[in-house]
């Protein structure tokens, strides 16, 4: 039993011999072995490189742009429910962003209309320029969110 196992396993020994002798056939076997080793390591480093590049690309594309400036009506705004953000343009070229979660009981504000950000649940209204409460039961202003305007893109910072 053990005598059969031994001849089939002398990997290191065979490798040493091949290195010393440089036999073509055995060298090929060694090269094959070496190939699989090196492709493994190449694969690992390749994955790392690709992953890093893809990650930074996705971050730039996915994390960033919330809206185009043209999407935000001047004197009004737009609710981005997925991001929980309401973006307003109180005066031309000035963009503001606030949490879209009503400070009363946590409903998502519905829209920006008639000069206010409006919560549908109990009628709270907020100032689109400052987020402060202008009407309704809301106890606090909408917290501001930080955005960046780059060209015609509005990005969540």
Q: Give dist(CA 49, CA 54) in Å, integer.
A: 9
Under the binding rule (CB under 6 A), the answer on residue 119 touching ligand FES is yes
Q: Quick one: which of 44, 94, 105, 153 contacts ligand FES (CB under 6 A)? A: 105
Under the binding rule (CB under 6 A), the answer on residue 102 touching ligand FES is yes
Please tell me whether residue 157 adopts helix, strand or coil conformation. Answer: coil
Instruction: Report the nearest approach of ligand FES to the CB of residue 120 (Å).
Output: 7
DSSP for 104-136?
TT-PBP-EEETTEEE-TTT--EE-TTT--EEES
Under the binding rule (CB under 6 A), the answer on residue 155 touching ligand FES is no
Give every strand in the sheet of 125-126, ordered side by side: 111-113, 116-118, 125-126, 133-135
Under the binding rule (CB under 6 A), the answer on residue 115 touching ligand FES is no
Where do we find the tokens 């031309």? Answer: 92
E strand or H helix that includes residue 16: helix 11-21
Q: Quick one: which of 27, 65, 107, 156 contacts ligand FES (CB under 6 A)? A: 107
Under the binding rule (CB under 6 A), the answer on residue 132 touching ligand FES is no
Under the binding rule (CB under 6 A), the answer on residue 122 touching ligand FES is yes
Under the binding rule (CB under 6 A), the answer on residue 121 touching ligand FES is yes
The site for ligand FES (CB under 6 A) is made up of 102, 104-107, 119, 121-124, 136-138
């Amino acid at each position: 039993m053990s005598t059969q196992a031994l001849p089939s396993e002398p990997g290191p020994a065979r490798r040493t011999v091949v290195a010393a002798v440089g036999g073509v056939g055995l060298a090929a076997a060694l090269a094959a072995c070496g190939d699989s080793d090196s492709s493994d390591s190449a694969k690992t480093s390749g994955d790392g490189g690709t992953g890093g590049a893809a990650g930074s690309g996705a971050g730039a594309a996915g994390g960033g742009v919330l809206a185009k400036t043209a999407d935000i009506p001047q004197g009004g705004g737009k609710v981005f429910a997925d991001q929980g953000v309401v973006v307003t343009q109180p005066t031309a070229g000035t963009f503001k962003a606030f949490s879209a979660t009503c400070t009363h009981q946590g409903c998502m504000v519905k829209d920006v209309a008639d000069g206010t950000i409006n919560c549908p649940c109990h009628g709270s209204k907020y100032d689109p320029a400052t987020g402060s409460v202008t009407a309704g039961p809301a106890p606090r202003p909408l917290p501001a969110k930080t955005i960046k305007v780059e060209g015609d893109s509005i990005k969540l910072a």
